[in-house]
Amino acid sequence: MYAARGEAKVLVLDKAPGTGALALTHKIANYPGMMEEMTGEELVTKMRQHAKSFGATFVQTHVQGIMNGEDMKSIFTTDGIIQTKTIFIAIGARGGRKNKIIGEDTFVGRGVSYCATCDASFYKNKTVAVIGDNEEAVEEAMVLSKFADKILFYIPGKTLAGSLSIDTLKDNPKIIIKEKTKIKEIKGTDTVEGIVTAEDEEIKVDGVFIYLSGNQPNTEFVSSIVDTTEDGYIKANEYMETNIPGIFAGGDIRKPPIKQVVIAASDGAIAAMSVEKFIHKKSSVKPQYS
């Protein structure tokens, strides 16, 4: 939207518009200016329509790789090669983890979540399960404890990866820790209704929050071009610039401290103004005014 409004030629490439983390979100109630509760798909549709109104073009295709040239960059897709001056990578961070739980993909956005900061408020006075083996799981369980009545915290192994100790949770009366317990299935009809442990014990829960190690972003197609972290996220500065001039990255793919739609949207606005600076060889980023 910002790039097109700034009169740049904007082409948005997306392999599956309806399967991103936002599109699969069941309810959103905290996006600025949207007073009514809506689904992620509805918000995505509004965003697309807004961008199109300024001239952005959307194409459904699969990007297989990119090549950095001296003047132009090449994007290799299943439908051909695209030449462009700049690239903004905003592919999110879903996917990459192997051995998903049975039912996990089925109930994404309908009881399965990867972000308590985003969805905790929908589980007020309810029972939820947190499945995790890292410090993010600990932090998110603490967020959930402000809303849910009961949190069942399942650790597949003996220990947690990271610096946060499991002792952080033990003083919280809402959190029940289940060590060395694996979850093999998430069950329900329209939404999540329960989980099944590896010992075939069925437990009723209203939601499941998953934070398991190995859930890496799908950046293989760009990792040989731009710098990434050890766990696959793209490194970008506050102007969304990567180590390659003319290639920018934003949203969850750059591993923000908090994953929220409004933060990803902010990254997009900053990237668009950085693109304008790059194309027109300006000395600094200039904000847009109405």
Domain borders along the chain are 2-95+216-279, 112-211
pTM of the full structure: 0.71
SS3 of 272, please?
helix
| Token pair 């290639």 in the structure block, residue | 247
Q: What is the mean pLDDT of residues 20-48?
A: 85
pLDDT band at 245 (very low <50, low <70, confident <90, very high): very high
pLDDT band at 50 (very low <50, low <70, confident <90, very high): very high
Contact between residue 56 and residue 3 where contact means Cβ atoms under 8 Å apart = yes
pLDDT band at 267 (very low <50, low <70, confident <90, very high): very high
Q: pLDDT, tens digit, for every residue of 166-185?
A: 777 888 999 999 999 999 99
Residue 103 has pLDDT above 60, yes or no: yes
* Highest mean pLDDT out of 103-112, 215-224, 232-241, 275-284: 232-241
- From the list 191, 224, 221, the residue with the least C-alpha distance to 119 is 191
Residue 41 has pLDDT above 90, yes or no: no
Which of the listed CATH numbers 2.40.30.260, 3.50.50.60, 3.40.190.10, 3.40.50.300 matches domain 112-211? 3.50.50.60
Sheet bearing 80-84, strands edge to edge: 63-68, 73-77, 80-84
Residue 163 has pLDDT above 60, yes or no: no
82 or 40: which leads in pLDDT = 82
The CATH code of the domain at 2-95+216-279 is 3.50.50.60
Domains 2-95+216-279 and 112-211 share a fold: yes
* pLDDT score at 161: 66
